[in-house]
């Protein structure tokens, strides 16, 4: 098969490259211990080698896999809503750099290098088929964390943690980072209550401020839903503490 390597050509991005093999294109950072190959984006590859160490509850498209001493998160891009009834994971081809895996990888790389608490991106994969594509992304797993949703259903979190969530969200907003799907499953907490954001599919760096309120409103709906359907501990004072942390970071 035809193999093509495309090195980073931007002055501020010398440490990445794109490797194309047939219909697949893989974007990854230089310096990986071994070349990233398209087969690594198939869940079956890891399952056959007994290297799957976990799976995201309720999201069969997310696997935690072991690569040497590292643990990666492998996520397949799937559609939601009414469109998913027509196609579960195909998207219209409009160019490689406009695909969601490539855009998310580049955004994560930028945020990680800026010191924001996000997972380090490893590689993005796109496989084209005519006018459509399917894709995946691999990121480093953030060790010893659990989602805000899990912490809520396990008995709730203390006031300081709610404020830490708000403070962290303000850090992202002050940098213009719009998380397109800000919910309690995409916010992680470690044992020291450090807060991380994950899953930046369709995220972007924006100007203006209207999207910031939409972010917070979406998170509030998520918290209310978890409390309503999962019996999680969440009350109005918790939201007030989150907003206090958000405001104190100004």
Residue 6 has pLDDT above 60, yes or no: no
The average pLDDT across 155-169 equals 93
CATH class of 145-248: mainly alpha
Q: What is the mean pLDDT of residues 198-219?
A: 96
The backbone region for 45, taken as left when phi is positive above 0, alpha when psi lies in -120 to 50, beta otherwise, is: alpha
Cβ-contact 63, 43 below 8 angstroms: yes
Cα atoms in the 13 Å half-sphere on the side-chain side of 21: 10
> Average pLDDT, whole number, for the chain?
90
The answer to pTM > 0.75 is yes
Given phi > 0 = left and psi -120 to 50 = alpha, else beta, which region is 244?
A: alpha
Give backbone dihedrals phi and psi of 49, rounded to 5 degrees, phi first: -105, 10
pLDDT digits (tens, 9 = 90+) for 139-150: 999 999 999 999
Task: Let me know if 181 is a catalytic residue.
Answer: yes
166 vs 198: CA distance, rounded Å: 15
Long-range contacts made by residues 10-14, C-beta under 8 angstroms, separation at least 24? 13/109
Burial group, residue 246, by CB count within 10 angstroms (0-12, 13-18, 19+): buried
The residue extents of the domains of the chain are: 3-140, 145-248
Helix (H) or strand (E) holding 113: helix 100-113
Of these residues, 136, 158, 178, 181, which one is catalytic? 181
Kindly tell me if the per-residue pLDDT of 121 is higher than 70: yes
* pLDDT recorded at residue 58: 55
Give the up-direction half-sphere exposure of residue 80: CA atoms within 13 A in the CB hemisphere: 7
Please state the rounded mean pLDDT for residues 44-71: 88
HEC string of 184-233?
CCCEEEECCCCEEECCCCCCEECCCCHHHHHHHHHHHHHHHHHHHHHCCC
Q: Does 79 have pLDDT greater than 90?
A: no
Residue 36 — pLDDT band, cuts 50, 70, 90?
A: confident
Distance of alpha carbon 25 from alpha carbon 45, whole angstroms: 18
| pLDDT score recorded for residue 29 | 87
Question: Containing H/E element for 248?
Answer: helix 236-248
Distance of CA 80 to the CA centre of its chain: 16
Q: Is the pLDDT of residue 9 over 70?
A: no
Report the C-alpha gap between 204 and 201 in whole angstroms. 9
Place of tokens 């962290």: 168
pLDDT at 7: 46
């Amino acid at each position: 098969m035809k193999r093509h390597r495309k090195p980073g050509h931007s002055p501020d991005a010398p440490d990445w490259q794109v490797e194309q093999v047939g219909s697949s294109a893989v974007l990854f950072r230089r310096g990986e211990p071994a070349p990233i190959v398209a087969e690594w984006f198939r869940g079956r590859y890891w399952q056959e080698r007994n290297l799957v160490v976990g799976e995201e509850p309720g999201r069969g498209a997310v696997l935690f896999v072991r690569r040497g001493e590292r643990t990666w998160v492998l996520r397949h891009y799937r559609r939601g809503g009414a469109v998913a009834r027509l196609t579960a994971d195909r998207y219209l081809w409009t160019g490689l750099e406009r695909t969601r895996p490539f855009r998310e990888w580049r955004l994560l790389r930028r945020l990680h290098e800026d010191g924001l608490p996000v997972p380090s991106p490893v590689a993005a994969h796109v496989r084209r088929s005519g006018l459509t594509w399917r894709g995946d992304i691999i990121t480093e797993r953030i060790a010893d964390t659990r989602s805000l949703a899990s912490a809520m259903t396990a008995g709730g979190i203390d006031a300081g943690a709610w404020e830490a969530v708000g403070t962290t969200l303000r850090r992202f907003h002050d940098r213009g980072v719009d998380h397109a799907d800000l919910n309690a499953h995409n916010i992680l907490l470690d044992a020291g209550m450090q807060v991380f954001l994950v899953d930046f599919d369709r995220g972007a760096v924006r100007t203006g401020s209207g999207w910031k309120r939409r972010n917070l409103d979406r998170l509030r709906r998520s918290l209310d839903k978890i409390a309503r359907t999962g019996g999680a501990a969440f009350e109005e004072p918790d939201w007030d503490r989150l907003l206090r942390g958000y405001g104190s970071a100004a």
